[in-house]
Amino acid sequence: MMSSENSYRNPGHASDARRHIASSLIKAEAARLRAEVKRLKRENERLTKERRALIRENRSLRREATLVRLYRAHDDQHETAEIGEKAELSPIPAPAADLYDRLPTSFTFANYFRFAAKAQLDSQTARSCLTYYLDEGLLIQVGSRLRKTDIVMRHTNG
């Protein structure tokens, strides 16, 4: 075994010491980088969960905003009818009657508009039909869903 005095005189030993220090520094840096990668993965998971939650909240808010717009349109029509004239809704046109016949017993607002699109009704006509259905009591809201009632619809040929 070499004494510490001899190690300073032995250039090979100094080189070994430098390698040992460099190796220790590299190991420490690798450990730091592994810890940082681990932290970033946790942060990524947290942000991914937060993003998913925000997407769900956004969808929910969009549905809620659609409901509010539909209710406002419905209330506006209802108030207008109450203020001046007696509101007499004309019998519903055949495409809307066909749509009503195709609707399931219970469905969401979003599904209503999907059914309307499949029946080739534009969004304004679909809204008008929905307002008609609600005014006439053909549909009622149950929570976030619409449900058909047992009322018989008056069909027209035009």
pLDDT digits (tens, 9 = 90+) for 13-27: 678 888 989 999 999
Burial track 106-121 (b if 16+ CB lie within 10 A, e otherwise): ebebeebbebbeebeb
Task: Please tell me the distance from the alpha carbon of residue 64 to that of residue 45, in angstroms, as a whole number.
Answer: 29
- Choose from 40-44, 56-60, 75-79, 123-127 the range with maximum mean pLDDT: 40-44
pLDDT digits (tens, 9 = 90+) for 57-79: 888 888 887 877 887 777 666 66
**142 vs 55, higher pLDDT:** 55
Query: Whole-structure pTM over 0.85, yes or no?
Result: no
On average, the pLDDT of the chain sits at 79
Task: Please say whether the dihedral angle defined by the alpha carbons of residues 109, 114, 115 and 121, taken in this order, is positive or negative.
Answer: positive
